[in-house]
Chains A and B, each alone.
Chain A
Amino acid sequence: MKKLLSLLLVLTMVFAFMAMSGTAFAADDTLTVYAWDANFNIPALKAAEAAYQKVNPNFKLEIATQSGSSDVEQAMTLAGSSGDLSSLPDIVLFQDHFIQSYVADYPDCWVDLQLADIDWSDFGAEKLSYSTIDGVHYGVPVDNGTAIFAYRTDVLEEAGYTIDDVTGISWDEWLEIAKEVKEKTGFALLSMDHSGDDLPYMMMQAEGLSQWRSGKPNLVGNEPFERIIEVIVQGAKDGTILLANSWSEYCDQTIVGNQTAGVMNGNWIIPTIEQVAENSGKWALTTLPTLDGGKDGYAANGGSSLYITGNCKNVDLACDFLAYTFGGGEGAMETYDNALRDGGVITCCISAGESEVYQEGVAYFGGQAIYSDIVDMGAYVPVVEQNDYHYTARTYVGNAITNIINGGDLESELQDAQDQIEFEMG
């Protein structure tokens, strides 16, 4: 029995070593990549692999599926802290909001894209602002985080409104309409995961403004920001904005559970909306409201890009692959078409968005050509000041909103949030 056990132990160890060396010593035309979403960005990478294989038949992309984006961040932290980059793959998919601080903290972990033949003017400026550091491009955009506001047109109709009535309006008008919708239909008109509340960020970006000024949090005395917080608090009190306590409650209860007739988030939320088959044809997309109304609001939330790591043995191949596929090269159209079909990944490469696949109407959204609409909207997203402490600010602003809803004073809660953010930064 003991012998059997030790034999098993030895065998598992051998297998573990073999599995490790399998990824570490890849053949010449093989690249390894870390990505995390089997329904979203992994189909996009598979599409790129297939497209690139047409010009380089020996090429192979080994995709190591991670359980979430934080796995990739922790792998980079580990490699960067220890100075041992050998554990890293050739390419990683990385969250836009984190890349600036990771390049600053662990410069050896990254390789810039000066060798890659990419026409950067083919991408939205806002998207590139994340992956460009001191004028040098580090990342090739994959998905497009352009924010959309999706409405249930049947619910709006029941309350006497159309999709045009909620396009280009002010938030005050929106609150009034939302109240009426709530009274007549029982539906809320917006929901958000309040444990990671992206509403203030998106609403500020739609104004062309930031929660940051010269690298410092700019919350207290920032009039548009205070007005935005008031809108969220008012909506929450009216019951027209549902603030869920967790991501799963946001998705499963408020959206899939048919509690809200409006969803505002990065367009990657669309597959979640589409999970409810019986609502097909009832949704429509439009732009975001703004504080003063009279114009369309554009914002982006949560996207990622592909980066070459410091452990890449064949930088030329990696650059060529990225430029040919996601970077707008000859394989871009094929890559992005299949990425859209298989994973719902929407390009932010403007020329690839002209493909026929993008012009097709989507039945779920009443035949609206949502993908080309989103690519168009992406070009208008304003560049606003970003900060490495984006998620820290999100946490404390979310806390402030909770406290204000529960009766706290706006000024002092924002002061508190600002103090906390500055504390974590300092």
Chain B
Amino acid sequence: MEKRRRAVGWAFLFTASAMIFIFSFYPMVSALITSFKTGSSANMKWADPWYNNYLRMFKDKTFIMSLKNTFLYLIIQVPVMLVLAMLLAQLLNNPNLKCRGLFRTCIFLPCAISLVSYSLVFRTLFYDTGMINTILMKFGIIHENIKWLGQTNTARGVIIFALIWRWTGYNMVFYLAGLQNLDYSVYEAARIDGANGWDTFWHITVPQLRPVIIMTVIMSINGTLQLYDESVNLTNGGPAGTTMTMSHHIYNTAFQGKANFGYASALSFVVFILVAILAVINLKVGDTRD
């Protein structure tokens, strides 16, 4: 009986492992091999030298631009979004607030919308003669239509704004869940000891939420480095490729026009390595154990 149960266990384990291997690890290794190759996908040859695709990146102005853009989004969007999410979570965790459920739902709702459709809606809003410009004109705030998506800085701003709108609620939910697990008596004790709201937040809430914060930071960094939908659908990388993200560039290299799978695979590995490095740093910084 015991033996049979063990066999069944192994059978499940084996199937799951085999599937992970076939559908996840094998493609990764295969992509790594492809990244050392060049030529049309029907007839790929080893690159010369074999790491040529990786050298190529340093000369690829579009890639360097997309790298800069992605990090710009990362540096501005992630902190703003997480601070906002924390703020909202604190507000909505207040037990005396009326209609809490309604507010929570409203703030989480953007996450239920598909990435492509919200990007398209944002694009429509920010057309030269779109709703935003029309409203601003009506109220006399501006006198000439702003080319939101036609200028580098405003276009980047629109993408960051869209990202914050889309993802703040998502992170807020994690913080809310974290806050609800905290023991209320600790706060009472702190209040008796004379701590104000700011003190309790920094010395009680933040330390106890540390694992949740680390998780949201890693997820946000990971998500931003792989940013694709907004770049493609909201600005299509424009103007002049100045809002393009790394994933968008990889897609273009692999699937637009003449397919270059070797170089695209090499680019994907760079993104993979960057995500790994940032995640490790994050874990190390967040880890307070000696």
Contact = CB atoms under 8 A, between A and B. Distances in A.
Interface of A: 70, 74, 77, 80-81, 83, 98, 101, 104-106, 108, 194-195, 243-246, 248-249, 253, 257, 259, 388-389, 391-392, 395, 398-400, 402-403, 406, 416, 419-420, 423-424
A163 B258 CA distance: 41
B258 A245 contact: no
Nearest to B152: A406
Contact of B236 (A81, A195, A392): A195
Given A243-B150, A402-B239, A403-B240, A420 B129 contact: no
Nearest to A242: B128
B128 A106 contact: no
B267 to A, nearest CB: 13
B61 interface: yes
A114 B259 CA distance: 28
A133 to B, nearest CB: 15
Contacts of B128: 244-245, 249, 253
A105 B38 CA distance: 12
B240 A389 contact: no
A246 B123 contact: yes
A406 B42 contact: no
Contacts of B151: 406
A131 B281 CA distance: 54
8 contacts: A77-B255, A83-B42, A98-B257, A105-B41, A194-B238, A391-B257, A398-B240, A406-B152
Given A105-B41, A257-B129, A392-B258, 4 more contacts: A389-B258, A399-B239, A400-B240, A423-B59
B42 A399 contact: no
A105 B40 contact: yes
Per CB-CB distance, the 5 closest pairs between chain A and chain B, nearest first, are A81-B41, A105-B40, A399-B240, A402-B240, A245-B149
A143 to B, nearest CB: 21
Contacts, number: 86
A80 B43 CA distance: 9
Nearest to B155: A245
Nearest to A247: B236
B208 interface: no
A245 B235 contact: yes
A388 B61 CA distance: 21
B76 to A, nearest CB: 22
Contact of B41 (A80, A392, A402): A80
Interface string B249-267: 0000001111111000000
A400 B149 CA distance: 16
A83 B235 CA distance: 36
A84 B74 CA distance: 41
A83 B44 CA distance: 12
Contacts of A392: 257-258
Nearest to A81: B41
Contacts of B61: 416, 419-420, 423
A257 B129 CA distance: 9
Interface string B143-186: 00001011110000000000000000000000000000000000
A253 B257 contact: no
Interface string B212-246: 00000000000000000000000111111100000
Contacts of A391: 256-257
A195 B235 CA distance: 9
B205 to A, nearest CB: 42
